[in-house]
Chains A and B, each alone.
Chain A
């Protein structure tokens, strides 16, 4: 997927004028927020679990090599294979290699952000395979050739009418004039169509919410059950996961799971949490014959030991975006690539470079709501600020802004001059604006006055009045 992150302002404007998207965003936003709040309130230990989750992931990151080696050893011991990949290209090739070796034609897929990140669908397609998304939301947007707009609700921007139209166009084997008026009907149709695909597929690809070093297991968390059909019906199960997803033990996985669903959807637990370990065992009558873990770095290890290390604690729950007023205004597509919302504003500059993705860490009011709800207590605003520092160091910010801030900084370092300058500015503005109490238009402030008035200063600065008053006292 080709990033359009550099065009964030235009993407955002388009999203803001898309009425249907706006309608969906306004109802979706409050829904997730309320559900998470209730789930957190219901578990008295929730805040303490967040502290432990943060500490656990910090411990894992500090011992990442040990845990990854232990994980690999366990996978291998149980007949599975680990494919270490430095880059997205290596991961694509590893997966294609597995498919080729299996003479695969159809590949079913559970939902995976990493699969999006490496663009596996396009690659498999380009190489003659047929990748099929099976998570309902992902399936819908795959049919529409769109990127997901939300980590856990990829089709959140679509109405049921959009989905009906998409199915009519895609499922041409069914009568065109069939009734598709209710989500229930749409879901039943997708279930029926996809059930056949699960059985045709030779390879099933899932992501992993967690990898467990103790047992060599991978875990997926879903509500639909598609991830399960994806891994038990095809002959080969491929897991694609990044190195930061490893945790030490089943107990540690449990800690993360207690936070994940509550933060994501407000559920106590998702419908299906599935722990997969190796291929099927002797005597098993179902399950995959091969188990592969494509273990991807793609820039993660380079974040260790930097000011961005904490972002590797992310468990991809989506709470940050559900609570983000900017995400709530523009939706996920505006972010122009795989990861939207506050987590995207930190991850995308890391993965795409600050030149491509520099808008994202800037497009935040630093309201702090993301950090306040992050189950792993990732200081997202702080890391967005660190990206702004990188931009500043590299001189990537707009020249007018740099110059403006430079002049302001020069004065602010010199209190006497600063107070003289503000006195003059306020006097001028105060005189101009006193009649109405505000300005509808102001030179150099078009960004402000395009949408709102600028209240006028009162006429004298506080410092000036204070000095006068002290003189009188």
Chain B
């Protein structure tokens, strides 16, 4: 970042799952953004991006929540989301949801243009090439579906992880295959979801990595929940925790305090 330019004002969209289950990820995101020269604010008027309603066929609730998010984040240079799934919802689906609402369609487009998933924002927009962090371990990385296919996040996290001292990446075979979370899918069709996550953790275990990373809390809760149920010692973390170097501040997902 050039010192001449004013610091970008970033609104952090926390996401429900980070807010509720894993605040550590939110603080890691704040640290990464601040280290990269941004000023970060967290509007308290935000709630949920509306994806659960959208994907359940309830367009009205989804559109209401989209309007709420749009209003809460107007005025920021960027909106950054530590999740490809919620990020994709804001970036791609708000436009679709509000296309027929003349008062909101333009605002949805405006928000879309400024919204980024955290790691792609760091790498693609801010041009961050390395982070100041240390993690002694061998990690493997699962590409969460929405981040990968809606937002094109693939190389960015790997590039940044490679700059973490002490860290080795073992690539995950089938990294692009869904882990079986799928929002309400995992509770509506638990047996199919279980079959998918079983296959996923078998692949994870085969890599020999001691740590599993991904960029979406939904997938992480699913995979951590399955690994822990099976008694696996593999540690599970959001990629932002490792990149921010805050892994000392919270135990891995699903592990003891």
Which residues does A use to contact B, with CB under 8 Å?
9, 12-13, 16, 26, 325-326, 329-330, 362-369, 371-372, 382, 385, 387-393, 397, 401, 405, 408-409, 411-415, 418-419, 422, 425-426, 434-438, 440, 445, 447-448, 450-458, 460-463, 465-467
Contact = CB atoms under 8 A, between A and B. Distances in A.
A228 B205 CA distance: 49
Nearest to B46: A415
Contact of A448 (B16, B19, B186, B191): B186
The winner among B24, B224, B254 for most chain A CB atoms within 10 A is: B254
Interchain residue pairs A-B with the least CB separation, the first 6: A365-B182, A447-B187, A388-B57, A392-B57, A452-B225, A367-B178
B150 to A, nearest CB: 7
Given A16-B191, A16-B192, A466-B26, A422 B149 contact: no
Contacts of A440: 229
The winner among A369, A393, A463 for most chain B CB atoms within 10 A is: A463
Task: Name the interface size band of chain B.
Answer: 35 or more
Contacts of B254: 437-438, 453, 455-456
B23 A437 contact: no
A448 B23 contact: no
B44 A462 contact: no
30 contacts: A26-B199, A326-B192, A330-B195, A362-B189, A363-B192, A364-B185, A385-B54, A388-B55, A392-B58, A392-B59, A401-B56, A412-B47, A412-B50, A413-B68, A422-B20, A436-B256, A448-B190, A451-B226, A452-B222, A453-B225, A453-B254, A454-B221, A455-B224, A455-B225, A457-B22, A458-B21, A462-B26, A463-B14, A465-B23, A466-B26
Interface in B167-201: 176-178, 180-197, 199
A168 to B, nearest CB: 33
A426 B21 CA distance: 8
Contact of B52 (A368, A408, A445): A408
B225 A438 contact: yes
Contact of A397 (B56, B59, B229): B56
Contacts of B105: none
B2 interface: no
B58 A461 contact: no
Contact of B188 (A401, A408, A411): A401
Contacts of B192: 12, 16, 326, 329-330, 363
B239 interface: no
Contacts of B188: 362-363, 401, 447
Contact of B19 (A26, A391, A411, A422): A422
A392 B21 contact: no
A9 B184 CA distance: 15
Contacts of B181: 365
A460 B229 CA distance: 24
Contacts of A385: 54-55, 57
A348 B69 CA distance: 35
A300 to B, nearest CB: 24
Nearest to A460: B23
A442 to B, nearest CB: 11
Interface in B106-144: none
The winner among B58, B61, B189 for most chain A CB atoms within 10 A is: B189
Given A447-B188, A454-B225, A368 B194 contact: no
A378 B27 CA distance: 39
A3 B70 CA distance: 44
Given A329-B195, A389-B59, A452-B222, A365 B180 contact: yes
A410 to B, nearest CB: 9
B240 interface: no
Contacts of A26: 199
B165 interface: no
B190 A447 contact: yes
Contacts of A453: 224-226, 228-229, 254
A184 B120 CA distance: 52
Interface in B222-249: 222, 224-226, 228-229
A372 B149 contact: yes
Given A438-B224, A453-B228, A458-B250, 13 more contacts: A13-B191, A16-B192, A363-B189, A365-B181, A367-B178, A369-B178, A388-B56, A408-B52, A413-B47, A435-B257, A437-B254, A447-B186, A452-B194
A419 B44 contact: yes
B86 interface: no
B65 A413 contact: yes
A426 B226 CA distance: 21
Interface string B40-75: 001011111010111111110100110010001000
B38 interface: no
B146 interface: yes
A197 to B, nearest CB: 39
A392 B181 CA distance: 22
